[in-house]
Amino acid sequence: MIYDYLIVGAGYSGCVLAERITSQLGKKVLIVDKRNHIAGNAYDEYNEEGILVHRYGPHLFHTKMKKVFDYLSNFTKWREYSHKVLAVIEDKKVPVPFNLNSIDIFFSPKQAEKLTNLLLSKYKLETKIPILKLLETSDKELKFLADFIYEKIFLGYNLKQWGVKPEDLDRTVSGRVPVFVSRDDRYFQDPYQAVPLFGYTKMFKNMINNKNINVLLNTDYKDILNTIKFDKIIYTGPIDEYYDYTFGNLPYRSLNFQYETKEKEFFQELTQVNYPNDNDFTRITEFKHITGQKHHNTTIAYEFPEEFIIGKNDPYYPIPNEENHNKFAKYIELAEKEKNVFFTGRLANYKYYNMDETVGVALQLFEKTISKV
Ligand code: FAD
Ligand code: UDP
């Protein structure tokens, strides 16, 4: 049989396109993934103790895009969930993004009032200010606060997570978690915040439940190129790997996840506690807070950041900086010359996409291009 599309990667990018191509165009696709499961980095599973965990770190769905939320709602019911995060600073835990409540927890009532009034004299309530922007202030007292937040929340976390200081990366990275002039402790303010009621993997199974979709796991696509017949490729793996690292490899950060199950109902007060300054790990996630699962034990995951080394670990985070952007641009030039190969996703586009952006970009690729070829 001849497949219309060979799709490399069974994550959001690959599965959304497989779903669209089969349900809208009636074509046949083969999805290949070298891992032993579908759902890419959003994969979740029940561990030995029967607790639902995310294998690749906490995945919290949030979006402003109604279209993306409506699309995924075809394949899952949702459990409403608003993410909140605490960061350990010295002997205290404060909300992150750092906000007016964080100020109250960390500073004396008098100093907190002064700093809050200062912020409110310069910014409207609900304003978000990237830390690198706040550091540029010429106001001495505001600079004191900016330095404090930079030192306590960002510097140590970045050195662990990325191996460099915040200012050595594209500003959008630390800008993901801006200082928030607000009393809203939620990590995101998007109108849609929820997790799939029966888990991400189940949602993916529903998405690709079509007789014209075949899935081949534990397989590198290169190993089947000569045995499978197909017309076109959709590639969602690392773009530098596709081109045999012609222009050198694009660097990534990786993570080592360490899971522990505790014989108690809960380990910490909420899903995620960050450790910007202490320990080698960046954060501890407790999954039962996300899923709402009832169980007498609880599983947590520590995240230890590390360099990505080809063949040793997985490429999780593209590293956004000018040098890498320029290298990626050379790969894009090659990609644009392809007639029958389409590149999409966090790895192929070398972009720090959230899940909703990944889905949005895949839907757009389908609508603007694939549905027309
Ligand atoms: P992937 O999920 O990486 O899928 C690509 C697939 O291609 C992989 O399964 C890989 O095995 C396969 N592949 C690669 N090369 C080959 C090959 N040669 N042959 C066969 N298969 C191959 N987003 C959010 O919105 N909220 C969050 O809370 C959130 N948390 C995250 C936490 C972590 C630790 C990480 C790493 C990411 C997080 N994300 C989050 C981002 C989210 O995981 C991505 O946006 C999304 O998974 C990207 O989907 P994708 O299909 O592009 O890539
Ligand atoms: N960040 C930080 N301290 C924190 C939380 C975040 O310095 O306590 C910075 C850091 O650069 C991190 C980025 O903000 O990589 C984005 O954080 P996010 O929680 O979005 O990261 P992800 O969930 O994608 O790993």
Q: Kindly give the distance from the C-alpha atom of residue 134 to the centroid of ligand 1, in angstroms, as a whole number.
A: 32
Three-class SS state of 222: helix
Asked if residues 284 and 300 have their Cβ atoms less than 8 Å apart, the reply is yes
Relative to the CA of 96, which ligand 2 atom is closest?
A: 8
As a whole number of angstroms, the distance between CA 164 and CA 361 comes to: 29
Q: Name the residue ranges covered by the structural domains of the chain.
A: 2-81+196-250+318-372, 85-181
| 171, 132 contact by CB (below 8 A) | yes
Q: Do residues 348 and 318 make contact, with C-beta atoms less than 8 angstroms apart?
A: no
3 state DSSP class of 87:
strand
Whose atoms come closest to the Cα of 314: which ligand?
A: 1
Report the alpha-carbon distance of residue 32 to residue 216 in Å, rounded.
5
14 has pLDDT over 90: yes
How remote is the CA of residue 82 from the centroid of ligand 2, in Å?
17
Ligand 1 atom closest to the Cα of residue 349 is 52
At position 9, the amino acid (one-letter code) is G
Determine the Cα–Cα distance for residues 48 and 37; give it in Å rounded to an integer: 17
Strand, coil or helix: 195 = strand
For residues 76 and 195, what is the distance between their CA atoms, to the nearest angstrom? 9
Helices and strands in the chain, H and E counts? 13, 19
CA of 343 to the centre of ligand 1 (A): 14
Distance 269 CA to ligand 2 centre (A): 20
**What distance in angstroms lies between residue 175's CA and the mean position of ligand 2's atoms?**
9
Inform me whether the pLDDT recorded for 1 exceeds 90.
no
Q: What distance in Å separates the CA atoms of residue 247 and residue 244, rounded to the nearest whole number? A: 9
DSSP H helices in 85-139: 100-106, 109-122, 131-134
In which order are the strands placed within the sheet that holds 29-32?
Answer: 213-216, 29-32, 2-8, 229-235, 341-343
Average pLDDT over residues 2-15: 98
The pLDDT tens digits of the residues spanning 62-88 come to 999 999 999 999 999 999 999 999 999
Residue 220 has pLDDT above 90, yes or no: yes
The CATH number for 2-81+196-250+318-372, chosen from 3.40.50.720, 3.90.1200.10, 3.40.50.1480, 3.40.190.10, is 3.40.50.720
Nearest CA to ligand 2 atom 2: 154
Mutate which of 355, 357, 365 for ligand 1 pocket (most atoms within 8 A of beta carbon): 355
**What end-to-end distance do the CA atoms of the chain give, in Å?**
21
Residue 180, classed as helix, strand or coil, is strand
CA angle (225, 250, 18) in 5-degree steps: 40
**Who's near 74: CB < 8 A, 6+ residues apart?**
207
Nearest atom in ligand 1 to 35's CA: 11
Q: Burial, 186: exposed, middle or buried (Cβ in 10 Å; 0-12, 13-18, 19+)?
A: middle
- DSSP code, position 371: G
Q: Model confidence over 102-154: pLDDT tens digits? A: 999 999 999 999 999 999 999 999 999 999 999 999 999 999 999 999 999 99
Give me ligand 2 centre to Cα 218, in Å. 31
**Cα 107 to ligand 1 centroid, rounded to whole Å:** 39
The helix/strand/coil state of 62 is strand
Considering Cα of 42, then 223, then 234, then 216, what sign does the dihedral take? negative
Q: How high is the mean pLDDT of the chain?
A: 98
How large is the average pLDDT for residues 33-41?
A: 98
For the cut 90, the answer to whether the pLDDT of residue 94 exceeds it is yes
Say if ligand 2 is within 6 A of residue 87 CB: yes
pLDDT tens digits, 252-295: 999 999 999 999 999 999 999 999 999 999 999 999 999 999 99
pLDDT at position 211: 98
% pLDDT > 70, the chain: 100
Burial (0-12, 13-18, 19+ Cβ within 10 Å), 322: exposed
Give the mutation target among 83, 161, 304, 355 for probing the ligand 2 site: most ligand atoms within 8 A of CB: 161
Ligand nearest to the CA of 346: 1
* Ligand with the closest atom to the CA of 158: 2
- Say what the pLDDT of residue 208 is: 98
Mutation probe of ligand 2 site: the residue of 177, 283, 306, 319 with most atoms within 8 A of C-beta: 177
User: For residue 140, what are the contacts with CB-CB under 8 A and spacing of at least 6?
Assistant: none
**Per-residue pLDDT tens digits for 305-338:** 999 999 999 999 999 999 999 999 999 999 999 9
- Contact residues of ligand 1, CB 6 A cut-off: 8-14, 32-35, 40-42, 56-61, 220-221, 236-237, 255, 316, 345-347, 353-356, 358
Task: Answer whether 274 contacts ligand 2 (Cβ < 6 A).
Answer: yes
Distance from Cα 158 to the centre of ligand 2, integer Å: 8
- The DSSP symbol for 335 reads H
Long-range contacts: 280-289, Cβ < 8 Å, 24+?
280/160, 280/304, 281/160, 282/157, 282/160, 282/161, 283/85, 285/54, 285/57, 285/58, 287/51, 287/52, 287/53, 287/54, 287/58, 288/51
- In order of 29, 259, 309, the CA distances from 226 in angstroms are 16, 39, 28
Report the C-alpha gap between 269 and 84 in whole angstroms.
10
